């Protein structure tokens, strides 16, 4: 397909129409316009402002990406899409994203846990950079302009119907309408012959009503392990070596959020009612926990157990767990009966909670589900069903855990889609 001259008199015809002005849409549009400077590229955004999610992301700071530079390690952070993303991450990974923003005047910083933010701690820096780059590349941006339908023409190219009745002609279309809770992107893809997996929330916290954690909000255990099994399913999720945070709702923190992402479909299937086991002592099993008790019997025999927290467990949580094991307030290490030791080891290493609902994580949440990855060629992000139609970002059945991974997949797939759309053919 020949790319039109930008000066074309037809102001309703574009070489590339990008449906959705979010992270993936902007990266795609900029990549296309920079690779093919004569191409007419338009971003159509249904909302009044572009990049709405970037604005609120990361608590207003925008966690742009994650400092994980090995594609093999990186894909492990994607419960859905990991196999398909390995090639794309070799071509455009977090280092490329960081370089892209920094060379365009947005200094970035990497926090201790690997999350990358603008030094300004303000998501507006990212928005300003993307809108400036789009403008400099000659991309047209239309807001309050929602795409209602996309039809593939038998002779090639597309008709794009907008709300209000306006129609545009497009040589190619990039669909970046975001998570498919908003059905429109899914409906367009489905109507064009693609399989779409149903939407399910990912990255949520667990609602738990339990006296062992009641009133302990704000308290966290840095190195915990969370396990969950679902009746009638082979899926057994274990997330270790990550923090668990007590909230006024129940439990949150990276270990819980990662568990929610891994089990997003199954948890939706059981209406968010299931049981989890928390090991507050990290990877230690019952034998290792009891061995520590035995050391305490020798090294601090007269110390009251309730006042002698172990395994870096915060004192207030330790007290609750000791009480739940029915170890009296006066009980000392030297007096700890074998039965009580086992009960305490269970509270510490296999602390079972009944989850009764979910609440969204306020800093970052995403939807799993979307366009079936088998219907997309990940070398170009082009549909395998309709030539000239590309997909990027959360409209695909790809989602990552918390920490900047969701934006990274949006940047990567957007970049590849835009670059491929710029090529004639």
Ligand X SMILES: Cc1cc2nc3c(=O)[nH]c(=O)nc-3n(C[C@H](O)[C@H](O)[C@H](O)COP(=O)(O)OP(=O)(O)OC[C@H]3O[C@@H](n4cnc5c(N)ncnc54)[C@H](O)[C@@H]3O)c2cc1C
Closest CA to 240 of 278, 286, 194, 207: 278
Q: How far is the CB of 181 from ligand X (least distance, A)?
A: 10
**Which lies closer to ligand X via its Cβ, residue 162 or residue 345?**
162
- In SS3 terms, 204-240 reads as EEEECCCCCCCCCCCCEEEEEEEEEECCCCCCEEEEE
**Which lies closer to ligand X via its Cβ, residue 111 or residue 363?**
363
Q: How far is the CB of 170 from ligand X (least distance, A)?
A: 13
Q: How far is the CB of 285 from ligand X (least distance, A)?
A: 34
Q: How far is the CB of 363 from ligand X (least distance, A)?
A: 6
**Which lies closer to ligand X via its Cβ, residue 353 or residue 365?**
365
- Alpha-carbon separation of residue 298 from 232, 294, 398 (angstroms): 45, 7, 53
**Which lies closer to ligand X via its Cβ, residue 109 or residue 352?**
109
Q: How far is the CB of 157 from ligand X (least distance, A)?
A: 19
Determine the 3-state secondary structure of 416 from DSSP.
helix
Per-residue exposure over 369-408, b if at least 16 CB sit within 10 Å of its own CB, e if not: bbbbbebbebeebbbebbebbbbbbbbbbbbbbbbbbbbb
Which residues contact ligand X (rule: CB under 6 A)?
A: 19-25, 44-47, 52-53, 56-58, 62-63, 146-147, 176-178, 182, 184-185, 363-366, 393-394, 404-407, 410
Task: List, in order, residues 6 or more apart from 182 with CB less than 8 Å away.
Answer: none
Work out the angle between the directed axes of helices 405-422 and 82-91 (0-180°, nearest 10).
Answer: 60
**Which lies closer to ligand X via its Cβ, residue 308 or residue 363?**
363
**Which lies closer to ligand X via its Cβ, residue 14 or residue 280?**
14
What is the distance of C-alpha 131 from the center of its chain?
Answer: 23
Q: How far is the CB of 387 from ligand X (least distance, A)?
A: 22
């Amino acid at each position: 397909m020949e790319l039109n001259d930008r000066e074309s008199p037809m102001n309703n015809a574009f070489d590339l129409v990008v449906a959705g002005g979010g992270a993936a849409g902007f990266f795609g549009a900029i990549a296309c316009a920079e690779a093919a400077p004569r191409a007419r590229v338009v971003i159509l955004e249904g909302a009044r402002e572009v990049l709405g999610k970037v604005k609120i992301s990361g608590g207003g700071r925008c966690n742009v990406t994650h400092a994980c530079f090995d594609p093999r390690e990186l894909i492990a952070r994607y419960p859905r899409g990991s196999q398909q993303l390995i090639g794309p991450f070799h071509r455009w990974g977090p280092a490329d994203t960081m370089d892209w923003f920094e060379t365009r005047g947005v200094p970035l910083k990497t926090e201790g846990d690997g999350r990358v933010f603008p030094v300004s701690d303000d998501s507006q820096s990212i928005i300003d950079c993307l809108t400036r780059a789009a403008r400099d590349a000659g991309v047209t941006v239309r807001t309050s302009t929602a795409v209602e339908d996309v039809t593939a023409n038998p002779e090639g190219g597309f008709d794009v119907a907008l709300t209000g009745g306006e129609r545009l002609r497009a040589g190619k279309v990039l669909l970046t309408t975001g998570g498919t809770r908003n059905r429109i992107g899914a409906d367009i893809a489905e109507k064009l012959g693609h399989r779409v997996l149903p939407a399910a929330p990912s990255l949520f916290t667990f609602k738990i009503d339990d006296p062992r954690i009641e009133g302990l909000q704000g308290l966290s255990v840095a190195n915990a392990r969370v396990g969950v099994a679902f009746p009638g399913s082979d899926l057994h999720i274990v997330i270790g070596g990550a923090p668990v945070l007590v909230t006024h709702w129940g439990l949150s923190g990276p270990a819980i959020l990662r568990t929610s992402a891994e089990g997003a479909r199954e948890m939706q299937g059981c209406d968010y009612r299931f049981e989890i086991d928390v090991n507050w002592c990290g990877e230690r099993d019952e034998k290792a926990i009891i061995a520590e008790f035995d050391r305490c019997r020798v090294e601090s025999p007269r110390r009251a157990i309730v006042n002698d927290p172990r395994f870096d467990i915060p004192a207030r949580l330790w007290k609750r767990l000791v009480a739940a094991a029915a170890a009296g307030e006066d009980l000392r290490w030297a007096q700890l009966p074998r039965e009580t030791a086992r009960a305490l080891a269970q509270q510490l290493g296999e602390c079972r909670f009944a989850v009764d609902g979910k609440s969204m994580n306020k800093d970052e949440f995403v939807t799993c589900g979307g366009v079936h990855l088998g219907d997309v060629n990940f070398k170009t992000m082009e549909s395998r069903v309709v030539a000239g139609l590309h997909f990027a970002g959360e409209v695909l059945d790809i989602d990552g855990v918390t920490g900047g991974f969701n934006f990274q997949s949006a940047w990567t797939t957007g970049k590849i889609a835009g670059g491929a759309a710029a090529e004639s053919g």
